[in-house]
Chain A
Amino acid sequence: MKLQLTFDRIVDDPQCKILINQHTLYEGVTQSEYTFNLAVPVGSCRLTIVHCDKKSEHTIVENGIIVRDRSFELVKCMIDGYDLQELIWLSRFVADHGEVYNSCLFFGPNGQFQLDFENPVLRWILRSRHERDNNDPQWEQDFEYYQQACKLLQLTSNK
Protein backbone atom coordinates (compact mmCIF):
# COMPACT_ATOMS: atom_id res chain seq x y z
CA MET A 1 0.00 0.00 0.00
CA LYS A 2 1.14 3.50 -0.82
CA LEU A 3 0.00 6.10 1.69
CA GLN A 4 0.43 9.81 1.05
CA LEU A 5 -0.54 12.42 3.61
CA THR A 6 -0.50 16.20 3.34
CA PHE A 7 -0.71 18.50 6.35
CA ASP A 8 -1.14 22.24 6.42
CA ARG A 9 -1.26 25.09 8.95
CA ILE A 10 1.44 23.44 11.04
CA VAL A 11 2.06 25.66 14.08
CA ASP A 12 5.00 25.36 16.51
CA ASP A 13 6.41 21.94 15.61
CA PRO A 14 3.65 19.67 16.81
CA GLN A 15 4.59 16.07 17.53
CA CYS A 16 2.76 13.30 15.72
CA LYS A 17 2.80 9.59 15.25
CA ILE A 18 1.39 7.93 12.13
CA LEU A 19 0.25 4.32 12.16
CA ILE A 20 -1.46 1.86 9.90
CA ASN A 21 -3.10 -0.70 12.16
CA GLN A 22 -0.50 -1.25 14.89
CA HIS A 23 2.46 -0.51 12.66
CA THR A 24 4.16 2.83 13.29
CA LEU A 25 5.22 4.58 10.10
CA TYR A 26 6.49 7.83 11.55
CA GLU A 27 7.09 9.50 14.87
CA GLY A 28 8.39 13.04 15.36
CA VAL A 29 7.75 16.64 14.41
CA THR A 30 4.89 16.95 11.94
CA GLN A 31 6.00 17.56 8.35
CA SER A 32 3.84 18.82 5.50
CA GLU A 33 4.16 15.77 3.25
CA TYR A 34 4.59 12.05 3.82
CA THR A 35 4.79 9.08 1.50
CA PHE A 36 4.91 5.55 2.86
CA ASN A 37 5.09 2.26 1.02
CA LEU A 38 4.16 -0.69 3.13
CA ALA A 39 2.72 -4.17 2.93
CA VAL A 40 -0.76 -4.32 4.38
CA PRO A 41 -2.93 -7.44 4.55
CA VAL A 42 -6.22 -7.44 2.69
CA GLY A 43 -9.14 -6.49 4.89
CA SER A 44 -9.93 -3.93 7.57
CA CYS A 45 -7.38 -1.20 8.22
CA ARG A 46 -7.11 1.78 10.45
CA LEU A 47 -5.09 4.90 9.77
CA THR A 48 -4.19 6.54 13.07
CA ILE A 49 -2.52 9.93 13.43
CA VAL A 50 -1.67 10.74 16.99
CA HIS A 51 -1.13 14.29 18.17
CA CYS A 52 1.01 14.09 21.31
CA ASP A 53 3.28 15.93 23.75
CA LYS A 54 1.30 19.13 23.58
CA LYS A 55 1.45 20.95 26.88
CA SER A 56 -0.50 23.87 28.30
CA GLU A 57 2.34 26.31 27.48
CA HIS A 58 1.82 25.52 23.80
CA THR A 59 -1.46 27.41 23.91
CA ILE A 60 -0.99 31.16 24.39
CA VAL A 61 -4.04 33.04 25.60
CA GLU A 62 -4.28 36.81 25.82
CA ASN A 63 -7.36 38.49 27.23
CA GLY A 64 -9.27 35.24 27.03
CA ILE A 65 -8.46 34.73 23.36
CA ILE A 66 -6.14 32.05 21.99
CA VAL A 67 -3.54 33.94 19.99
CA ARG A 68 -1.22 31.02 19.25
CA ASP A 69 -1.77 27.29 19.51
CA ARG A 70 0.40 24.32 18.61
CA SER A 71 -1.69 22.48 16.08
CA PHE A 72 -1.90 21.16 12.53
CA GLU A 73 -4.46 20.06 10.00
CA LEU A 74 -4.78 17.10 7.67
CA VAL A 75 -5.69 18.32 4.19
CA LYS A 76 -5.18 15.33 1.92
CA CYS A 77 -4.97 11.59 2.19
CA MET A 78 -4.14 9.41 -0.80
CA ILE A 79 -4.02 5.65 -0.70
CA ASP A 80 -2.69 3.67 -3.63
CA GLY A 81 -2.96 6.79 -5.77
CA TYR A 82 -6.59 7.48 -4.92
CA ASP A 83 -7.41 10.74 -3.19
CA LEU A 84 -9.98 9.91 -0.53
CA GLN A 85 -11.47 13.36 -1.05
CA GLU A 86 -14.77 13.63 0.82
CA LEU A 87 -14.37 10.15 2.35
CA ILE A 88 -11.77 11.58 4.68
CA TRP A 89 -14.72 12.98 6.61
CA LEU A 90 -15.68 9.45 7.64
CA SER A 91 -12.92 9.79 10.23
CA ARG A 92 -13.08 10.87 13.86
CA PHE A 93 -10.77 12.54 16.33
CA VAL A 94 -10.63 10.99 19.79
CA ALA A 95 -9.15 13.53 22.18
CA ASP A 96 -7.16 12.37 25.19
CA HIS A 97 -9.58 14.23 27.42
CA GLY A 98 -12.36 11.92 26.26
CA GLU A 99 -14.23 13.99 23.69
CA VAL A 100 -14.87 12.39 20.30
CA TYR A 101 -15.16 14.72 17.30
CA ASN A 102 -16.55 13.18 14.15
CA SER A 103 -15.22 14.44 10.82
CA CYS A 104 -12.47 16.48 12.40
CA LEU A 105 -9.23 17.02 10.50
CA PHE A 106 -7.91 19.62 12.92
CA PHE A 107 -5.31 18.48 15.45
CA GLY A 108 -5.72 20.86 18.37
CA PRO A 109 -5.76 18.87 21.59
CA ASN A 110 -3.70 15.77 22.16
CA GLY A 111 -5.48 12.75 20.81
CA GLN A 112 -5.78 10.58 17.79
CA PHE A 113 -7.36 10.83 14.40
CA GLN A 114 -8.81 7.52 13.25
CA LEU A 115 -9.95 6.51 9.80
CA ASP A 116 -11.24 2.99 9.27
CA PHE A 117 -11.07 1.71 5.72
CA GLU A 118 -10.32 -1.46 3.81
CA ASN A 119 -7.50 -2.77 1.71
CA PRO A 120 -7.78 -2.67 -1.29
CA VAL A 121 -8.86 0.89 -0.82
CA LEU A 122 -10.50 1.25 -4.23
CA ARG A 123 -13.17 -1.28 -3.36
CA TRP A 124 -13.82 0.57 -0.10
CA ILE A 125 -14.00 3.94 -1.88
CA LEU A 126 -16.54 2.69 -4.40
CA ARG A 127 -18.66 0.92 -1.83
CA SER A 128 -18.58 3.82 0.62
CA ARG A 129 -19.59 6.34 -2.01
CA HIS A 130 -22.43 4.16 -3.24
CA GLU A 131 -23.65 3.53 0.32
CA ARG A 132 -23.74 7.24 0.90
CA ASP A 133 -25.07 8.53 -2.45
CA ASN A 134 -26.82 5.46 -3.86
CA ASN A 135 -25.76 6.46 -7.37
CA ASP A 136 -23.31 3.79 -8.48
CA PRO A 137 -25.12 0.45 -8.62
CA GLN A 138 -22.52 -0.94 -11.05
CA TRP A 139 -19.59 -0.28 -8.73
CA GLU A 140 -18.94 -3.89 -7.74
CA GLN A 141 -19.12 -5.17 -11.30
CA ASP A 142 -16.86 -2.37 -12.53
CA PHE A 143 -14.39 -3.07 -9.77
CA GLU A 144 -14.24 -6.75 -10.75
CA TYR A 145 -13.75 -5.85 -14.42
CA TYR A 146 -10.96 -3.51 -13.43
CA GLN A 147 -9.28 -6.14 -11.27
CA GLN A 148 -9.46 -8.68 -14.06
CA ALA A 149 -8.11 -6.16 -16.57
CA CYS A 150 -5.13 -5.49 -14.31
CA LYS A 151 -4.49 -9.22 -14.01
CA LEU A 152 -4.73 -9.63 -17.76
CA LEU A 153 -2.26 -6.82 -18.34
CA GLN A 154 0.02 -8.38 -15.77
CA LEU A 155 -0.07 -11.55 -17.85
CA THR A 156 0.93 -9.61 -20.96
CA SER A 157 3.84 -7.98 -19.18
CA ASN A 158 5.02 -11.37 -17.91
CA LYS A 159 4.98 -12.93 -21.37
Chain B
Amino acid sequence: MHKQLAWAIAANHSEDFFHCRDQVRYLYQGSRAVQDTNIMHNINQVLDTKSWQNSMHLDQFKANFAPWLLQHRSNSVIGLDQYCANFSAGTTQAFDSFYFRWRERRFRCFVGEYFYHIKTWINNNVDWSFVTEQDPLTAGDALVISMPFCDTGSAPADYQAIIDQCTALNIPVLVDACYYVISGGIKLDVSAKCIDTVAFSLSKAFPVGNLRIGIRYTRPSTADGQSLHDSINYNNTMSAQIGFMLIDTYSSDYVYNKYRQQQLEFCNAVNLDASNCVLFAVGNDSWNEYNRRNLLQQYQLSFDPNLFANRISLTHVFENWPLFELLKNETTVNI
Protein backbone atom coordinates (compact mmCIF):
# COMPACT_ATOMS: atom_id res chain seq x y z
CA MET B 1 0.00 0.00 0.00
CA HIS B 2 2.88 2.38 0.74
CA LYS B 3 3.97 2.29 -2.89
CA GLN B 4 0.46 3.01 -4.09
CA LEU B 5 0.19 5.87 -1.62
CA ALA B 6 3.51 7.30 -2.79
CA TRP B 7 2.28 7.31 -6.38
CA ALA B 8 -1.04 8.86 -5.39
CA ILE B 9 0.73 11.63 -3.45
CA ALA B 10 3.05 12.26 -6.37
CA ALA B 11 0.26 12.21 -8.95
CA ASN B 12 -1.71 14.63 -6.81
CA HIS B 13 1.09 17.14 -7.34
CA SER B 14 1.91 16.46 -10.96
CA GLU B 15 0.16 14.59 -13.75
CA ASP B 16 3.46 13.85 -15.46
CA PHE B 17 4.51 10.23 -14.99
CA PHE B 18 8.22 10.99 -14.98
CA HIS B 19 7.88 13.75 -12.37
CA CYS B 20 5.82 11.36 -10.29
CA ARG B 21 8.40 8.62 -10.55
CA ASP B 22 11.16 10.98 -9.43
CA GLN B 23 9.10 12.09 -6.45
CA VAL B 24 8.17 8.52 -5.51
CA ARG B 25 11.84 7.58 -5.32
CA TYR B 26 12.47 10.18 -2.62
CA LEU B 27 9.06 10.31 -1.00
CA TYR B 28 9.86 8.35 2.14
CA GLN B 29 13.27 9.94 2.63
CA GLY B 30 14.60 13.04 4.34
CA SER B 31 13.64 14.65 7.61
CA ARG B 32 11.58 17.65 6.64
CA ALA B 33 8.96 19.11 8.98
CA VAL B 34 5.30 18.81 8.04
CA GLN B 35 4.07 21.86 6.13
CA ASP B 36 1.29 22.71 8.55
CA THR B 37 -0.89 25.43 6.98
CA ASN B 38 -1.94 26.82 10.34
CA ILE B 39 1.68 27.25 11.41
CA MET B 40 2.60 28.80 8.06
CA HIS B 41 -0.25 31.27 8.51
CA ASN B 42 1.03 32.27 11.95
CA ILE B 43 4.56 32.72 10.62
CA ASN B 44 3.30 34.99 7.88
CA GLN B 45 1.36 37.01 10.43
CA VAL B 46 4.55 37.56 12.43
CA LEU B 47 6.27 38.82 9.31
CA ASP B 48 3.38 41.21 8.71
CA THR B 49 4.13 42.96 12.01
CA LYS B 50 7.39 44.25 10.49
CA SER B 51 8.99 44.30 13.94
CA TRP B 52 11.71 41.78 13.35
CA GLN B 53 14.62 44.14 14.02
CA ASN B 54 14.07 44.26 17.77
CA SER B 55 16.86 42.40 19.58
CA MET B 56 14.43 41.65 22.39
CA HIS B 57 13.25 38.68 20.29
CA LEU B 58 16.58 36.96 20.90
CA ASP B 59 16.29 37.28 24.67
CA GLN B 60 12.66 36.17 24.66
CA PHE B 61 13.39 33.13 22.57
CA LYS B 62 16.43 32.08 24.60
CA ALA B 63 14.80 32.66 27.98
CA ASN B 64 11.68 30.73 27.13
CA PHE B 65 13.23 27.82 25.28
CA ALA B 66 14.25 25.63 28.24
CA PRO B 67 10.91 26.05 30.07
CA TRP B 68 9.20 25.20 26.79
CA LEU B 69 11.26 22.02 26.43
CA LEU B 70 10.48 20.98 29.99
CA GLN B 71 6.74 21.17 29.32
CA HIS B 72 6.95 18.16 26.99
CA ARG B 73 4.57 15.61 28.51
CA SER B 74 6.18 12.52 27.01
CA ASN B 75 9.88 13.42 27.24
CA SER B 76 12.11 14.61 30.00
CA VAL B 77 15.40 16.45 29.93
CA ILE B 78 17.60 16.51 33.01
CA GLY B 79 20.54 18.77 33.71
CA LEU B 80 19.92 21.57 31.26
CA ASP B 81 20.13 24.08 34.10
CA GLN B 82 23.90 23.49 34.19
CA TYR B 83 24.28 25.15 30.80
CA CYS B 84 24.14 28.58 29.20
CA ALA B 85 21.88 29.13 26.21
CA ASN B 86 23.05 30.74 22.97
CA PHE B 87 21.01 31.42 19.87
CA SER B 88 22.17 29.07 17.13
CA ALA B 89 21.61 28.97 13.39
CA GLY B 90 19.92 25.61 13.67
CA THR B 91 21.92 22.85 15.31
CA THR B 92 24.48 23.26 12.54
CA GLN B 93 26.17 26.33 13.96
CA ALA B 94 26.61 24.46 17.24
CA PHE B 95 28.23 21.59 15.34
CA ASP B 96 30.70 23.92 13.65
CA SER B 97 31.58 25.59 16.94
CA PHE B 98 32.13 22.19 18.56
CA TYR B 99 34.37 21.04 15.71
CA PHE B 100 36.49 24.16 16.09
CA ARG B 101 36.71 24.04 19.86
CA TRP B 102 37.89 20.43 19.81
CA ARG B 103 39.84 20.61 16.56
CA GLU B 104 42.89 18.90 18.07
CA ARG B 105 40.89 15.78 18.85
CA ARG B 106 39.81 12.84 16.75
CA PHE B 107 36.12 13.22 15.97
CA ARG B 108 33.88 10.21 16.45
CA CYS B 109 30.31 9.28 15.67
CA PHE B 110 28.30 6.11 15.29
CA VAL B 111 27.34 4.64 11.94
CA GLY B 112 24.06 6.26 10.95
CA GLU B 113 24.89 9.67 12.34
CA TYR B 114 23.98 12.83 10.43
CA PHE B 115 26.02 12.94 7.22
CA TYR B 116 26.82 16.63 7.70
CA HIS B 117 29.42 15.72 10.33
CA ILE B 118 31.12 13.14 8.19
CA LYS B 119 31.08 15.28 5.07
CA THR B 120 32.56 18.23 6.97
CA TRP B 121 35.29 16.13 8.55
CA ILE B 122 36.24 14.41 5.31
CA ASN B 123 36.30 17.61 3.28
CA ASN B 124 38.45 19.39 5.85
CA ASN B 125 40.91 16.56 6.39
CA VAL B 126 39.87 16.24 9.99
CA ASP B 127 40.89 13.13 11.90
CA TRP B 128 37.72 11.10 12.45
CA SER B 129 36.28 7.59 12.45
CA PHE B 130 33.11 5.69 13.24
CA VAL B 131 32.84 4.19 16.70
CA THR B 132 32.86 0.42 16.24
CA GLU B 133 33.75 -2.65 18.26
CA GLN B 134 37.11 -2.73 16.49
CA ASP B 135 37.64 1.00 16.89
CA PRO B 136 36.09 1.99 20.25
CA LEU B 137 36.13 5.38 21.91
CA THR B 138 39.50 6.30 23.38
CA ALA B 139 40.98 9.22 25.28
CA GLY B 140 41.66 12.10 22.89
CA ASP B 141 38.39 11.66 20.99
CA ALA B 142 35.46 14.08 20.72
CA LEU B 143 32.05 12.50 20.18
CA VAL B 144 28.95 13.70 18.34
CA ILE B 145 25.83 11.74 19.16
CA SER B 146 22.22 12.41 18.25
CA MET B 147 19.50 11.73 20.76
CA PRO B 148 17.09 10.48 19.47
CA PHE B 149 19.51 8.81 17.09
CA CYS B 150 19.58 10.06 13.52
CA ASP B 151 19.65 6.60 11.96
CA THR B 152 16.46 5.29 13.56
CA GLY B 153 14.65 8.22 15.15
CA SER B 154 14.75 6.35 18.46
CA ALA B 155 16.89 6.47 21.57
CA PRO B 156 19.98 4.28 21.38
CA ALA B 157 19.65 1.59 24.05
CA ASP B 158 23.20 2.17 25.26
CA TYR B 159 23.09 5.98 25.35
CA GLN B 160 23.85 6.23 29.07
CA ALA B 161 26.66 3.67 28.84
CA ILE B 162 28.24 5.68 26.03
CA ILE B 163 28.00 8.87 28.05
CA ASP B 164 29.47 7.12 31.10
CA GLN B 165 32.35 5.90 28.97
CA CYS B 166 32.95 9.42 27.67
CA THR B 167 32.99 10.75 31.22
CA ALA B 168 35.53 8.10 32.21
CA LEU B 169 37.72 8.87 29.19
CA ASN B 170 37.30 12.65 29.43
CA ILE B 171 35.80 12.79 25.93
CA PRO B 172 33.83 15.96 25.16
CA VAL B 173 30.40 15.17 23.74
CA LEU B 174 27.98 17.10 21.58
CA VAL B 175 24.41 15.88 21.97
CA ASP B 176 22.41 16.67 18.86
CA ALA B 177 18.84 16.85 20.14
CA CYS B 178 17.22 18.19 16.99
CA TYR B 179 14.63 15.39 17.05
CA TYR B 180 13.87 15.77 20.75
CA VAL B 181 10.69 17.83 20.50
CA ILE B 182 9.16 15.69 17.76
CA SER B 183 9.71 12.53 19.80
CA GLY B 184 8.07 10.78 22.69
CA GLY B 185 9.35 8.53 25.44
CA ILE B 186 12.79 10.16 25.49
CA LYS B 187 14.67 10.61 28.74
CA LEU B 188 17.55 12.91 27.96
CA ASP B 189 20.03 13.27 30.78
CA VAL B 190 22.66 15.88 29.94
CA SER B 191 24.06 16.26 33.44
CA ALA B 192 27.20 14.19 32.81
CA LYS B 193 30.34 16.31 32.94
CA CYS B 194 31.60 15.06 29.60
CA ILE B 195 28.74 16.74 27.77
CA ASP B 196 30.07 19.93 26.26
CA THR B 197 27.16 20.96 24.02
CA VAL B 198 23.48 20.19 23.69
CA ALA B 199 21.90 21.49 20.49
CA PHE B 200 18.21 21.90 19.69
CA SER B 201 16.46 23.12 16.60
CA LEU B 202 12.95 24.03 15.51
CA SER B 203 13.53 22.89 11.91
CA LYS B 204 12.16 19.38 12.41
CA ALA B 205 9.07 20.42 14.32
CA PHE B 206 8.00 23.41 12.27
CA PRO B 207 8.37 24.34 8.59
CA VAL B 208 11.14 26.83 9.31
CA GLY B 209 14.23 24.92 8.23
CA ASN B 210 15.46 27.79 6.09
CA LEU B 211 15.19 30.22 8.99
CA ARG B 212 17.82 28.28 10.95
CA ILE B 213 16.26 28.58 14.40
CA GLY B 214 18.06 26.76 17.18
CA ILE B 215 19.46 26.97 20.67
CA ARG B 216 22.84 25.74 21.77
CA TYR B 217 23.55 24.90 25.39
CA THR B 218 27.18 24.94 26.53
CA ARG B 219 28.95 25.02 29.87
CA PRO B 220 29.34 28.51 31.44
CA SER B 221 33.08 28.35 30.79
CA THR B 222 32.63 28.13 27.04
CA ALA B 223 33.77 31.28 25.27
CA ASP B 224 33.75 31.14 21.49
CA GLY B 225 32.53 33.08 18.50
CA GLN B 226 29.00 31.86 18.95
CA SER B 227 28.82 32.92 22.61
CA LEU B 228 30.43 36.25 21.72
CA HIS B 229 27.80 37.00 19.07
CA ASP B 230 25.13 35.91 21.47
CA SER B 231 26.38 38.27 24.17
CA ILE B 232 26.08 41.28 21.86
CA ASN B 233 22.79 40.21 20.27
CA TYR B 234 24.45 39.89 16.90
CA ASN B 235 22.11 37.17 15.71
CA ASN B 236 19.11 36.65 13.50
CA THR B 237 16.34 38.61 15.15
CA MET B 238 13.75 37.64 12.55
CA SER B 239 14.34 33.95 13.19
CA ALA B 240 14.25 34.57 16.92
CA GLN B 241 10.95 36.43 16.60
CA ILE B 242 9.41 33.58 14.67
CA GLY B 243 11.00 31.06 17.01
CA PHE B 244 9.50 32.79 20.00
CA MET B 245 6.07 32.93 18.38
CA LEU B 246 6.28 29.19 17.68
CA ILE B 247 7.25 28.17 21.22
CA ASP B 248 4.75 30.65 22.65
CA THR B 249 1.92 29.30 20.48
CA TYR B 250 2.62 25.58 20.26
CA SER B 251 3.62 23.30 23.09
CA SER B 252 6.88 21.37 22.75
CA ASP B 253 4.91 18.14 22.31
CA TYR B 254 2.46 19.66 19.81
CA VAL B 255 3.89 17.89 16.77
CA TYR B 256 4.35 14.59 18.60
CA ASN B 257 0.80 14.63 19.91
CA LYS B 258 -0.65 15.75 16.61
CA TYR B 259 0.90 12.96 14.54
CA ARG B 260 1.56 10.08 16.93
CA GLN B 261 -1.68 8.21 16.24
CA GLN B 262 -1.26 8.69 12.49
CA GLN B 263 2.30 7.38 12.76
CA LEU B 264 1.14 4.24 14.57
CA GLU B 265 -1.77 3.69 12.20
CA PHE B 266 0.37 4.01 9.10
CA CYS B 267 3.14 1.82 10.53
CA ASN B 268 0.60 -0.84 11.39
CA ALA B 269 -0.87 -0.70 7.89
CA VAL B 270 2.44 -1.06 6.06
CA ASN B 271 4.47 -3.13 8.50
CA LEU B 272 6.92 -0.51 9.77
CA ASP B 273 8.38 -0.10 13.25
CA ALA B 274 7.36 3.30 14.61
CA SER B 275 10.27 5.35 15.92
CA ASN B 276 10.24 7.45 19.06
CA CYS B 277 10.48 10.32 16.65
CA VAL B 278 7.02 10.83 15.19
CA LEU B 279 8.28 11.72 11.72
CA PHE B 280 10.06 8.40 11.28
CA ALA B 281 9.69 4.67 11.17
CA VAL B 282 12.11 1.87 10.42
CA GLY B 283 11.51 -0.61 7.65
CA ASN B 284 12.79 -4.13 7.09
CA ASP B 285 14.55 -5.31 3.93
CA SER B 286 11.40 -4.89 1.87
CA TRP B 287 11.98 -1.13 2.27
CA ASN B 288 15.54 -1.23 0.93
CA GLU B 289 14.66 0.96 -2.02
CA TYR B 290 14.22 3.78 0.49
CA ASN B 291 17.61 3.30 2.15
CA ARG B 292 20.27 6.01 2.28
CA ARG B 293 21.53 5.44 -1.25
CA ASN B 294 20.10 8.71 -2.56
CA LEU B 295 21.30 10.73 0.40
CA LEU B 296 24.76 9.24 0.19
CA GLN B 297 24.88 10.24 -3.46
CA GLN B 298 23.71 13.74 -2.58
CA TYR B 299 26.49 14.08 -0.01
CA GLN B 300 28.96 12.35 -2.32
CA LEU B 301 29.78 9.78 0.34
CA SER B 302 30.78 6.28 -0.67
CA PHE B 303 29.48 4.18 2.23
CA ASP B 304 27.51 1.00 1.74
CA PRO B 305 23.80 1.95 2.14
CA ASN B 306 23.24 -1.35 3.91
CA LEU B 307 25.20 -0.03 6.89
CA PHE B 308 22.25 2.16 7.73
CA ALA B 309 18.72 1.50 8.93
CA ASN B 310 15.89 1.94 6.43
CA ARG B 311 14.68 5.10 8.11
CA ILE B 312 11.35 6.01 6.56
CA SER B 313 10.15 9.60 6.59
CA LEU B 314 6.43 9.98 7.19
CA THR B 315 6.22 13.70 6.43
CA HIS B 316 4.48 13.23 3.09
CA VAL B 317 2.10 10.70 4.62
CA PHE B 318 0.96 13.19 7.25
CA GLU B 319 0.64 15.93 4.67
CA ASN B 320 -1.57 13.70 2.54
CA TRP B 321 -3.46 11.85 5.23
CA PRO B 322 -6.85 11.95 3.42
CA LEU B 323 -5.23 10.06 0.53
CA PHE B 324 -3.97 7.37 2.88
CA GLU B 325 -7.41 7.00 4.42
CA LEU B 326 -9.00 6.80 1.01
CA LEU B 327 -6.51 4.21 -0.13
CA LYS B 328 -7.02 2.20 3.03
CA ASN B 329 -10.74 2.14 2.39
CA GLU B 330 -10.34 1.38 -1.28
CA THR B 331 -8.03 -1.60 -0.87
CA THR B 332 -11.00 -3.93 -0.97
CA VAL B 333 -12.41 -2.13 -3.97
CA ASN B 334 -10.91 -2.59 -7.40
CA ILE B 335 -9.43 0.79 -8.21
Taking beta carbons and an 8 Å cutoff, which residues of A are in contact with B? 81-82, 122, 126, 142-143, 145-146, 148-153, 155-156
CA distance A152 to B326 in the complex (A): 8
Contact A149 B16 (CB under 8 A): no
Given A146-B7, A148-B4, the answer on whether A153 and B17 have CB atoms closer than 8 Å is no
Interface string of B1-14 (1 = CB under 8 A from A): 00110011011100
Across the interface, which residues of A come within 8 angstroms of B21, CB to CB? 142, 146
Q: Is the interface of B mostly helix, strand, loop or mixed?
A: helix
**Pick the contact of B330 from A143, A146, A155 — CB < 8 Å?**
A155
Q: Which residues of A contact B16 (CB under 8 A)?
A: 81-82
Most-contacted residue by chain B among A122, A145, A153 (CB, 10 A)? A145
Q: Hey, which chain B residues are within 8 Å of A122, CB to CB?
A: 17
Residue of A nearest to B8 (CB): A149
State whether A145 touches B326 (Cβ < 8 A).
Answer: no
Summarize A's interface: helix, strand, loop or mixed.
Answer: helix
Number of A-B contacts (CB under 8 A): 48
Residues of B280-335 whose CB lies within 8 A of A? 322-323, 326-327, 330, 335
Interface residues of B (CB under 8 A from A): 3-4, 7-8, 10-12, 15-17, 20-21, 24, 322-323, 326-327, 330, 335
**New A-B pairs, 10, CB < 8 Å, besides A81-B16, A152-B8:** A82-B16, A82-B17, A143-B17, A145-B7, A146-B17, A148-B335, A149-B11, A152-B330, A155-B330, A156-B326
Contact A155 B3 (CB under 8 A): no
How distant is the Cα of A145 from the Cα of B7 in the complex, in angstroms? 6
**Contact call B20/A152, Cβ cutoff below 8 A:** no
12 contacts between A and B (CB under 8 A): A143-B17, A146-B20, A146-B21, A148-B4, A148-B7, A148-B335, A152-B4, A152-B323, A152-B335, A153-B8, A156-B322, A156-B326
B335 / chain A contacts, CB cutoff of 8 Å? 148, 151-152, 155
A158 to chain B, nearest CB (A): 11
Instruction: Please give the distance in Å from B293's CB to the nearest CB on chain A.
Output: 15
Question: How many angstroms from the CA of A148 to the CA of B323 in the assembled complex?
Answer: 13
Instruction: List, in ascending order, chain B residues with CB within 8 A of A156's CB.
Output: 322-323, 326
